């Protein structure tokens, strides 16, 4: 067992020890090849959860560049083969690195909102995830996460919260036309974010709670 596997096993043990951990929809996750996990972002625990799933233990994620030299998070990021990204600007080097990693067959977990929600409900998404999927030529697996934001807090109250991850049907981004690329990216971004919202409890849907597309998805889930 290498160092990465030891870290993953330790994280899985702690997650199961500290919470009632539930996963649904794993049949939607490709058994091999690269793709994107796209999920709502409510806690620093989200990345450890996604990169320690037994179904695709080779998954990686982005990690803010500010942590690269941190004594613990820097070591952890390098061990897990995370991609360090400067969130204060359009980090094209990180984007190119991500595309290369995905094309080599590694799943990448991303947060389309760009940052953690401070309320626990969804913020408006950013189109970078759509561009990344288009450039890498891979599907996006939407995911809804609940419970990670209260997991550590509840430990001190001797309660085990339920942490739940639900995966939806893959979203495939078709070729984007140059003349109206921005409009197309916004269309598929809203589709993705509504698919994520549909996997969450009503009170967690935030910005997308009243979106017409969400109402359609709730009435007729993707087949």
CA distance 103 to 204: 33
Instruction: Give pTM, 2 decimals.
Output: 0.94
**144, containing H or E segment:** strand 140-146
Rounded percentage of the chain residues whose pLDDT exceeds 70: 100
Rounded percentage of the chain residues whose pLDDT exceeds 90: 70
- CATH node for 3-219: 3.40.1130.10
Q: What is the mean pLDDT of residues 81-95?
A: 85
- Per-residue pLDDT band at 68 (split at 50, 70, 90): confident
Residue ranges per structural domain of the chain: 3-219
Tokens found for residue 135: 């450039």
CA distance 78 to 68: 8
């Amino acid at each position: 067992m290498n160092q990465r596997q030891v870290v993953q096993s330790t994280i899985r043990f702690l997650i199961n020890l500290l919470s009632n951990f539930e996963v649904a929809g794993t049949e939607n996750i490709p058994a091999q090849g690269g793709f994107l996990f796209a999920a709502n972002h409510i806690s620093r625990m989200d990345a450890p959860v996604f990169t320690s799933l037994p179904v695709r233990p080779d998954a990686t994620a982005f990690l803010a560049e500010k942590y690269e030299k941190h004594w613990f998070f820097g070591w952890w990021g390098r061990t897990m083969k995370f991609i360090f990204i400067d969130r204060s600007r359009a980090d094209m080097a990180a984007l190119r690195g991500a595309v290369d990693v995905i094309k080599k067959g590694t799943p990448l977990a991303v947060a389309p909102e760009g940052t953690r929600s401070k309320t626990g409900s969804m913020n408006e998404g950013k189109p970078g995830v759509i561009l990344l999927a288009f450039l890498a030529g891979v599907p996006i697996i939407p995911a809804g996460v609940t419970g990670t934001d209260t997991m550590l807090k509840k430990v001190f109250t001797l309660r085990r919260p339920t942490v739940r991850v639900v995966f939806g049907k893959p979203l495939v981004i078709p070729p984007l036309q140059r003349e109206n690329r921005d409009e197309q990216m916004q269309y598929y971004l809203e589709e993705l974010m509504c698919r994520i919202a549909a996997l969450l409890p009503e009170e967690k849907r935030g910005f997308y709670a009243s979106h017409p597309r969400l109402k359609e998805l709730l009435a007729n889930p993707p087949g």
